[in-house]
Amino acid sequence: MNENVKKQLFRLRKPETGTVVALLVLVAVFYIMSRGLFFSPVNLRSVIRVAAQVGIVTVGQGLLMIAGEFDLSVGSVYGFAGVLFIAFQSSLNPGLSVVLVLALMVAIGFLNAFFVFKLKIPSLIATLGGLFTYRGLIYLVTGGFGTHIPEQNRASALIRLLGGETLGGVNNIFIWYLLFAVICTVILARTRFGNRVYAVGDDPLSAFSRGVSPIRVKWVCFMICSFMAGLSAIATVCNSGTAYPTLGSELELQSIASCVVGGIALSGGVGTIWGAAVGAFFLSTIQSGLILVGAPPYWFITFVGVVLIAAVAVNRVLSERRRY
């Protein structure tokens, strides 16, 4: 077979290629079913905003999953970061609040890794415990009620930068999403650390035999994952001005689903941040499309479950074919 043909076939078998095609089909279906309302400016801005909020978390989750681990606590970490950001502003300015919250989120990622690698607790259990712990702390901080950014801080340049809007009404969260997606894509594709992430996710023992510390690489990925969850929460709160005890609920599942739909293998070592980014848009499109066609809100969670199972099945078939 011609070498160029082989390269084209290899590209077509990339998991994210199928996700892009599926996303385009989904957009076309919802465009028809909504009688063109899907492409209205209001809806497109909503799709972009939701995709960015989930997508920033997905970038960190994707990096960790490629390394062979996953974090079930990111939804609660996201909510915890949001309420802390507002709580700190009772005595600190927005800039110091951002720095302190992000530092605490990195510490949470460090703590998750400590439980996994030092205490030998499986990441499923360690981060599931974190999910419940940080959700409980959210209720402790808020007392079960919504909180709001102080009125005097809402006009802050930093808050407008993080959660305001650019020309055309596009939320700045989307800009931050693109920025960090590009940064992490470059890290994975062009740096020694990126090579180590893939090596550790694919075969930790083989990576260790070549002088790479799987624990060190995964430890860093855990911290990045929590940092990205905190950053997304801060940007979201800056945009809405409020935080509720349910902030980030089920986000851990949406981020994992976005990664899997985008072609990242649950076993690690396979996938791209680009694919995870497309996966986030896929879920955002489903959510917005279902609302436009009048489907009940709970259908979205049902669709996420169905899509997740289908994506795992398809990726498994593709991985089997790559062996031949």
Q: In which band, very low, low, confident or very high, does the pLDDT at 14 lie, cut at 50, 70 and 90?
A: low
Model-level pTM? 0.90
CATH of the domain at 300: 1.10.3470
Instruction: Name residue 243's beta-bridge partners.
Output: 147
Q: Is residue 7 part of a domain?
A: no
For residue 61, the SS3 value is helix
Q: Is residue 156 part of a domain?
A: yes
Q: In which band, very low, low, confident or very high, does the pLDDT at 96 lie, cut at 50, 70 and 90?
A: very high
CA distances from 163 to 61, 157, 172, 192, 289 (A): 22, 10, 6, 33, 24
- Express each pLDDT in 279-288 by its tens digit: 999 999 998 9
- Express each pLDDT in 230-261 by its tens digit: 999 999 999 999 999 999 998 999 999 999 98
Local structure of residue 26 (DSSP, 8 states)? H
Q: Is residue 3 part of a domain?
A: no
Q: Is residue 6 part of a domain?
A: no
Q: Is residue 9 part of a domain?
A: no
> Which domain does 289 fall in, by range?
14-322
How many domains, in total, are found in the chain? 1
Q: Is residue 61 part of a domain?
A: yes
Whole-number Å distance between alpha carbons of 111 and 55: 23
In Å, how far from its chain's centre is CA 209? 31
Q: Is residue 141 part of a domain?
A: yes
b/e per residue, 224-259, with b = 16+ CB within 10 A? Answer: bbbbbbbbbbbbbbbbebebbbebbbebbbbbbbbb
Q: Is residue 2 part of a domain?
A: no
Answer whether residue 2 shows pLDDT above 60.
Answer: no
Interior angle at CA 77, CA 75 and CA 81, nearest 5: 120
